[in-house]
Amino acid sequence: MSAEMLLEPSFRRQEESEKMFPYSHSAGSFAALRILGWFSLFFCLTFAVARAEETELRLSPKKIRDAVHAVVEAQLAALRKGDFPAAYELASAGIKEQFDAQLFALMIRRGYPLLQQAKEADLGVVRDKDGESAQVTVSVLDGKKRSVVYRYWLVLEEAGWRINGVTLEQRPPRGDI
């Protein structure tokens, strides 16, 4: 770096720096990293809580099973239509504290695009813990008709069952035709 550059105003040095390293200082890259960080944290926390609760779950009675299925099916239907506000309404208060509606939509678009594209889904057995939290596996087909399995975690709130997290359980094997 020349002596002249050291004497230049800081904005000129920043311009030169951006020419040499175009992606290292952009506000967009920081925002994307921040979103990715939140998404990663959310996924890790959901996964840890899900595994801890899994051992305490029991098969759910029909009333809980039907209610959980209805909420998951409603959110999947909203996602298929691209109706993110309706899908967001079915999220738990905890999810709404972490993500506003726009960030929630971005998370779905980037992290769970298959849930938007799936034409149909098979909902599996519902298990719950004392009627307060529940989980259900959801199988959807990707574009190549391969099954992808997600696990939905729900909590019972005043407004009814709400989705508290989704984890990818099984993706199709690579190279599968």
pLDDT band, residue 84 (cuts 50/70/90): very high
Cβ atoms < 10 Å from Cβ of 128: 23
pLDDT of amino acid 46: 59
pLDDT band, residue 48 (cuts 50/70/90): low
Phi, psi of 83 (to 5 degrees): -90, 80
121-129 vs 133-141, strand pairing mode: antiparallel
pLDDT tens, position by position, 141-175:
887 888 899 999 999 999 999 999 999 998 766 65
CA 146 to CA 120: how far, in whole Å? 13
Q: Per mean pLDDT, which range of 37-46, 55-64, 100-109 is the poorest?
A: 37-46
Domains of the chain with bracketed CATH? 27-170 (3.10.450.50)
> pTM (2 decimals)?
0.67
pLDDT band, residue 11 (cuts 50/70/90): very low
Inter-residue contact 13 to 5 (CB < 8 Å): yes
| Mean pLDDT (the chain, rounded) | 80
